[in-house]
Amino acid sequence: MRERVPDDVVEDILARLPVKSLTRFRCVSKSCNSIITDTTFINKHLKLNLNQSESSISANTHSGYLLYTTEDKDGSSSSKELCTVVRNNDRTWTQVSRFEIPSFFDKYMIVAFCNGLFCLASCEKELCHIIYLWNPSIRMCKKLVATRFNRKKNERAAIGFAYDSLNNDFKILRVVCHAMFDESEAEAEIYTLSSDSWRKVVISMQSLRGCEVTEPKLGTIFGVWGPFTFYNGALHAFAHTIGYSFILSFDISDESFHEIMMPRNHYDSDTTNFTKLAEYKGLPADFVFALDDGNKPFGRNLCNIWVMEKYGVAKSWTRKFVIRMEWVWAGNFFGCTNNGELLIKNATGLVSIDPESQNQNILDIEDANWVAFSTNSMESLVLLDGGSFITQNVYTEREREEEEEEKKNSNVCSMDDLGGASGSGGGLDSGSSGDCHSRAT
């Protein structure tokens, strides 16, 4: 007597498989494909992966992941790649994944990523209202069209992207500012993946403080400098009025804006090269890169690291370190690792700098033009239920060969493969039903 394996057991087994296996098992049958592409299953798979990533961090099996984009020296648009390497405890690197970046992203840049999903935006005026979500592990993307505000040529759009764990949703914040000295307030809108829609929200000094603003120096918000950085459950970016600068924070769960004061006297307009917000050992930090060597441009930099030791409390800002280093361009500081090392691209190449010892470590990574650090590097099925498939002709020959090999394997794959992949002893017999529910005697 053969009995049908319960649906929840099959789903539980599938939810523990890696993304690459699941994309192959979609071809087993219509019922398998239906399970794997279902939104509920995708969310379940995501949560299990998040828990697994947290366990890996607790086990201290590695020192985090480095993500970077690179391109061949010939600069051809078909050679750009997104790479992920894991930093082993002996300070060596092991490659985890490598994806070619589709050619139609040539005019776009990565502004943020989380849980296997990348957010890309463009600085070009005609494209600044178009944003892409890209999931390289399943070769799918989603094109988002934001509001085209009636702006002058010197408008700016600051973008933030994060995962709302309380509401199990991915969200994008987009803030568009008017030209300087314009009397209109900045405008903001929020996109939620679950609803696949944008909605406008109010942002002004009055709304931030919850009362009428009487200080004349505050004025209207004319600048928000993105992309936003995410920590402590909120997105953060520098914001400016004519006579005042502060950190604009946006709580990703309750979708409220807040004002965080900057440290006093942290900025000297005569000597400061640039400033950037980043996370330092779990705390918000302001990195101020100033001129050294008698204020000579393109000489050496002084990096002042201000850390807010108690989140949201202005008096807790402390200047922790001052580091002398080679000249750094504004776009070549990429934040910090989880142990507080600065990731910088200078004349030497891509390096990490320990602010305590001020030792510089040269990273064996060439031609990187975008770099980010992450404590986890997970793949997900997000967008599988609503994205657009990226055709294989934008991928490398190596990836085409891998896909052809997967197709060959998929022609003979069965639920025996499923059982073996899940770690069970003898696997699950596919039976004769032709669906995704194996049968047992």
Helix, strand or coil for residue 408? helix
Task: Single out the residue of 394, 430, 356, 426 nearest to residue 103, CA to CA.
Answer: 394
What is the rounded average pLDDT for all residues in the chain? 81
CA distance 312 to 424: 49
> How many residues would you count in the chain?
441
pLDDT of residue 73: 59
In the DSSP assignment, the letter for residue 426 is S
Distances (CA, A) of 99 to 69, 110, 381, 429: 9, 14, 16, 34
Q: Determine which helix (DSSP H) or strand (DSSP E) holds 21, and give its type and residue range.
A: helix 19-25
Taking the C-alpha atoms of residue 70 and residue 356, their distance in angstroms, rounded to an integer, is 30
Angle at 68 between CA 194 and CA 158, to 5 degrees: 50
Could you tell me how far CA 52 lies from the centroid of its own chain? 19
The pLDDT of residue 189 is: 95
Start-to-end C-alpha separation, the chain: 5
CA distance 284 to 249: 11
The SS3 call for residue 209 is helix
Question: Strand 349-353's sheet: what is its strand order?
Answer: 333-336, 342-346, 349-353, 360-362
Which structure tokens are listed for 89?
């405890």
> Nearest 5°: phi and psi at 387?
-95, 180
d(CA 39, CA 239): 37
CA pseudo-torsion sign 382, 386, 389, 390: negative
Question: What parts of the chain have a pLDDT lower than 70?
Answer: 1-2, 54-62, 72-78, 150-155, 178-184, 206-207, 209-219, 269-270, 293-298, 391-441
Q: Give Cβ neighbours of residue 365 (< 8 Å, ≥ 6 apart).
A: 66, 68, 70, 85, 93, 349, 350
